[in-house]
Structure 1
Amino acid sequence: MPVNKPNISQLCDALQSFLEAELAPAVSDSALKYKLKIAGNVLGIIARESELGEEFKRLERDQLNTLLGDDGSERSQNQRLVEFINSADIRPGEDDILPVLERITLAKMAIDNPHYASYVKHVDP
């Protein structure tokens, strides 16, 4: 299947640039400006999700499979993770839960907002 240009990420970036550079300065209503900012942020998430989403899902699945030994669906893996945490059967230094959760969280933050201070601190110390 041929790759279509522009892709989702490029379309979102173009629309986000239009909202921020051209539309927002022309709007005087503060509530509408706020909604435009939210719309721009949503477009950024959509763009990053289109680029990084599959890689994130693969990383999460692999990390949870290694930790829990459960190669099930995303839902079942997350349910097993909740059960594992709730069981209080976590042995510091023996279980790899914290590094796994950190890797998953950082990958998700790269999609949601790569400008989070804690994300930036971890990836660019």
Structure 2
Amino acid sequence: MLTISRRQYEAFSKDREQGFTARAVAHLREHHPDWCYGRDDRTLAARVSAATAFAREHGVTQEPNVLRLLDLQMRPGFTVPLSGYPHYRLTQRGFDEATRVRNFASALTHPRSLVVVTLDTDLDALERGDV
């Protein structure tokens, strides 16, 4: 049986995080060279750290999905905190994170006019069984 001490686990976690940051900085330099121009690795690593925190806040942890969110945050006009339909798509229950990130990207890149639906029924009462 292999036993890993807390100190060893923390060292593994730190190495994994540093590896991801290095890969994400390389990703930024490859996919967003204009934005990266004149910025040092420390500045880019801070951007990666902020994007990673944003991803975690929204339940996104897998590297490809975090990188996709990082790319989406590089779009002009991207603002935090999220609101409206894009926020709903990123946090929608019942979907795995890859689907949520894909739906979020779609909501950002293909905005649609919202449709307001008014019902003459009290849906809360229906759910409670009062009707």
Give the structure-1-normalised TM-score: 0.32
Higher RCO structure (Cα 8 Å, ≥6 apart): 1
More helix per residue: 1 or 2? 1
Give the structure-2-normalised TM-score: 0.31
